[in-house]
Each structure stands twice: as C-alpha cells, then as structure tokens.
Structure 1
Amino acid sequence: MNHPAQEYDWPACAGCDRPLWETELGRHACRPCEDKTLRRLRELPGLFAQLNTTASLMRGARKVGAATSGSRVPPIPPRLEVLSLVAAGGVAVRLRDIEDAWRAALGWTVAPWRGSPAQAVPEHTKFLINNLPWAVDDYESIGQDIEDLRRLHAECTAALTGERRPGRVNIGLCPVTDGETGDRCNTQLTASAASPRIQCGNCETEWPDMAAWRDLRRQQEAATEHGAAA
C-alpha cells in the first residue's frame, strides 16, 4: 500500500521567518538578519555614548568646553526614555543578559563586565559581535535575541531623534536598603512623562520632584558601583 509522501517543511530564519537559502541550510538565522544585527551591535556603543551625554546635560552638568563663569547649564526637561536607557537596568543590562545566555549555552562563565554602564556597553557589544557567527549557526534562541537587539537599537535611535513614546518607562531598580535586614529593595521603578513623581511599588519610597530624581540617580549609581565591587 502506497503512503503519500509527507510534505517537506523548508527551514526558515529564526529572525525574520524567511525561508533559508540553500546555502544557508544548517543555520538558525539568515545572512541578511546576521548583517543587520552586526550593524546594530556596532552602532550601539556610539548611540549609548550620545544618550549618556544627553542624560548628563539633563542632570545639569556643565557643558564640555563652556566658559568657566560658575553658572550651570539651565535644566533641560527630562526625557525619561533617555534616562531609562542609560540608567541601571538600561542598555548595559539588556546586552549583559544576552551575553550571559550565550555564555551559558557555550559552557562559559558569566559576563565579567560589571562596571558602570559606560564601561560595560562596549565590552558587551564586543563579545556579541565576536560570537554572532556562532549564534546564528548554532544557538537555537537567536531569533529572540535578534528581535531584542533590533528593539534596543530602535529605542536608542528614537530617543536621540526625539520621538516620544507614551506610557511608562523603566528607570532602574529601587536602591533603598531595609534598615533591619540590610537587603536592597531592587524593585523595578517606572516613571511617566506626565509627572516627575516616582514611587516604588514595593517599599513605597517616593521621589516627588526633579531634585529627588537626582538623588535617586545618585543612589542607583552608588548601588551599581557597590554591586560591582562586591
């Protein structure tokens, strides 16, 4: 008795769902997706550096090369999408999470780059660039990482070009320490462009205005430095 031949399911790219070319068979992602991801990774350190400079100006930092008259740069209305990308929990952590997943798949130790975001971003992108050929060939979850990197690159680009996004954004973890246990709260904080008020949903600590926002930023940076030194 003859049985109808089963229809062959041609492999598709994990990043864009396009059927793979014959020369791409055996890979998880197509070469165009690899090329686009490589370009985005190469551009991310420069985008982050621009965002970090913008965030510094928002915090009232003196302009580089400005006359030393003793005056400070006038406050710039906060761009929460910019600040959330350069804060703890922003670009650096999102790149680190991808690197850690790749290292786990390779059987390597976790990413060692635990300094400030400005120090870590170039190191994370360097690792991902160097190991992208392996990932598109052998890492089954590469499709999600391609999408995450595409989204991260788009967010950085939109923040620099001034495109506004409604709703709330993540601005890093709550740095408040419990007075009895010494444990840090570490709850993800969010903020809205409609109000400068920030409140932790766990410990209920509140930062009601921009002066308090600057204190929060300093506390987050100190917590990150303490974690890196631990």
Structure 2
Amino acid sequence: MHDHPTSPDQYEWPTCGPCGRQLRQDELGRVACRLCQERADTTLRQLPGPGGLYAQLATRLTPGRGSDAPVVTMSRTAPLPVRLEPLSLMARGGVVTILQTWLVDWHETLGWRHPRWEGNLQQQCDQAVKALRINLEWAAGEHSAFGDFLHEVTSVVRQCERQITGERPERPIAVACPCGTTLRVTVSTPGIRCRGCATQYARSEVLDLPLADRAAA
C-alpha cells in the first residue's frame, strides 16, 4: 500500500514570528514576513541624524513651565532642572546601548568580529542603525530572536516619541490565553507569543482574547 499524502487540513501553514501573519509563498523559510522587516527598517530610520529622534531628545531635557519634572541637584549651590526620562534614553544604557547590544548579538550569531564603536553617542547611534539596517534581510530571514529585536526597537522608539511629543504612554491591557497565562499587551501590539503554551497570536487575535481576571492579573 502507498501512504496517502498529508491532507491540507492537517498541515499548519508557517506564520511570521513577530506578527503571526501567514507567510506568503516567497517568504517560506523566513523567521519574519517582509512587512515586519520593513516595519523594523522604518522604525530604525527614525532614530539617526541631526533631525532624528535621538538628537531631538536633547531638546526635551529642560522641563517647561508648570512641569512636574524633578529637579536634579548637580552641585551644592544651584539645582539644575532636568527631565530624567529623555536623559536616561540619551545616556549609556539607553537607546545607543540597546542598538549596540543587538548588533553584538548579530555579529556573534554570524561568527563575525565584535563591532567597534567610534565617536560620540550620536555618531555611535548613527553607526549602529546603519549596520542593523544593512543586516535586516538576514535577521528577518534567519535570526530566531528577530521578534524580540523588533519589539525592543519599536518600544524604545515609542519612548523617544513620547518624550518629544508629550504623548502619554499606552495603557497595558491584561488578556487571558486559553491556557491560563495572562498576557500584557497594548492596542498597538503587533503580535505576541504566549509564554505558557507557545501559541503565536496575531494583533487582531490577541485583542480578541478575553480580559484577564483582575486577581490573576
């Protein structure tokens, strides 16, 4: 007897890791769809250059009138009012460090030498963005953590935008996966994978999940 081929109903079509959308025929074998790759590229392009979000953070360090931003004492004589949120994004550990950490990860995954940083933080930001964009095709196609990269870069860009525009951060929503795991999402979450059962939800699917019980959340 000949084995019957697997029926289409038994075959689960591959999906994009970050957003959960079914991959197109020409995307099969990739970690992420080309839409998510383009979204990553668009997000990265907002950061570098004299008119980019990173440079604009410097214009938001001083609180305006009526601001409730804390006053940071830099000496014993005169306190200097500084908004800590944009300062933390500009400093080591902020935007530039996040970009460089991912670039180091990509270099190590590919077996390349550790990247070298040159110039001030603005120049390092520009260099890291350029290098990440050059390697986006590979990362979206093969890197298993591309979804985490996209989520983290999108998050830090949104933080920069909020500091520059004064927009309030999105309120997280707690929803319940059928397995019982509580997932925290926002209305703009592109998609999420449940850490309990590993189910991948697209944006529309995760927003259709029931709200989590307050006690459980």
The TM-score, its normalising length taken from structure 1, stands at 0.59
Given candidates 28, 32, 37, the residue that maps to 2:35 is 32
Shift of 1:143: 1.0
SS at match of 1:156: helix
1:15 aligns with 2:21: no
Shift of 1:164: 4.5
Shift of 1:24: 1.1
Query: Structure 1 CA distance, aligned partners of 2:159 and 2:134?
Result: 23
Q: Considering only aligned residues, what root-mean-square deviation do their CA atoms show, in Å?
A: 2.5
SS at match of 2:132: helix
Shift of 1:8: 1.7
Q: Which runs of 4+ in 1 moved over 6 A?
A: 1-4
Map 1:101-180; keep pairs closer than 5 Å: 101-113=105-117, 115-164=119-168
Equivalent in the alignment of 1:61: none
Any idea what the Cα deviations from partners look like across 1:168-210, whole Å, max 9, x if unmatched? xxxxxxxxxxxxxxxxxxxxxxxxxxxxxxxxxxxxxxxxxxx
Shift of 1:9: 2.2
Any idea what the Cα deviations from partners look like across 1:20-39, whole Å, max 9, x if unmatched? 11121111111111111101
Equivalent in the alignment of 1:48: 54
Query: Structure 2 CA distance, aligned partners of 1:131 and 1:90?
Result: 22
Query: Structure 2 CA distance, aligned partners of 1:28 and 1:160?
Result: 33
Taking a change above 3 Å as real, the CA distance of residues 79 and 104 of structure 1, as seen in their structure-2 partners, is same
Equivalent in the alignment of 1:87: 91
Percent identity between the two aligned chains:
40
SS at match of 2:93: coil
Shift of 1:54: 2.9
Query: Structure 2 CA distance, aligned partners of 1:113 and 1:40?
Result: 22
Shift of 1:4: 9.7
Aligned AA for 2:53? L
* Structure 2 portions without partners, runs of 5+: 64-78, 171-217
Query: Structure 2 CA distance, aligned partners of 1:4 and 1:76?
Result: 73
* Structure in which a larger fraction of residues adopt helix: 1
